[in-house]
Chains A and B, each alone.
Chain A
Amino acid sequence: AQSVTQPDIHITVSEGASLELRCNYSYGATPYLFWYVQSPGQGLQLLLKYFSGDTLVQGIKGFEAEFKRSQSSFNLRKPSVHWSDAAEYFCATPQLTGGGNKLTFGTGTQLKVEL
């Protein structure tokens, strides 16, 4: 079954610094991949998604992610982090069933931003 792994539980960056959050996937064919963000006290919000085509995907809030088949990775990046980016970030991949799709999530990476 498709799965994703987020190797970093916590990451701390300074405001204005660049950010890269790692996500590795396990799947034979080209996977569908998503990044979600969860701000404190909120539900999850979709940042971006990759289905096929261009391997560099742009999302909301200035985030981007790059699909690298050779590394089985879909890392999330942002060139300059803002304090409001402090949140938990989840990588996800769907498991297609006969009736629809269900998402399998990674364990999440908690981002702390130092001012």
Chain B
Amino acid sequence: DVKVTQSSRYLVKRTGEKVFLECVQDMDHENMFWYRQDPGLGLRLIYFSYDVKMKEKGDIPEGYSVSREKKERFSLILESASTNQTSMYLCASSSREVGVSPLHFGNGTRLTVT
């Protein structure tokens, strides 16, 4: 069974802090994703990566960056946290195969920026 693990379940940070959200998957998946989830807005894609050291902007990349140095790990970085980045952050992974493969999600990190 695919496991996607997010390092923190809850996180409280102060405005201006640099924040790292870590995600690890154990299924050798090529693709990894970071979404944020807000009530009434569903899931919005921040960044995704389809290979080591490769990244692409999603729909809402502003204020975020990512790092993928190893295939199994995908980090989301908030360079200078702001209160409007208070949200639930979900990491996901998928294999790359002909056609479309489903996403496997972690349990999320609820980030509060005060």
Chain A positions near chain B (C-beta within 8 angstroms): 6, 9, 32, 34, 41-46, 49, 51, 90, 94, 96-97, 99-108
Contacts and interface: CB of A to CB of B under 8 A. Distances in A.
A42 B94 CA distance: 18
A103 B102 CA distance: 9
A53 to B, nearest CB: 12
Interface of B: 4, 30-31, 33, 35, 40-45, 48, 50-51, 54, 56, 58, 90, 92, 94, 96, 99-108
A90 B31 contact: no
B90 A102 contact: no
A32 B100 CA distance: 8
23 contacts: A9-B40, A41-B107, A42-B107, A43-B4, A43-B90, A43-B108, A45-B105, A46-B104, A96-B100, A97-B50, A99-B51, A99-B54, A99-B96, A100-B31, A100-B48, A100-B50, A100-B94, A100-B96, A101-B31, A102-B45, A103-B33, A105-B43, A108-B42
Contacts, number: 68
B4 A90 contact: no
A90 B40 CA distance: 12
Nearest to B107: A43
B56 A99 contact: yes
A51 B45 CA distance: 22
Nearest to B99: A51
Nearest to B103: A103
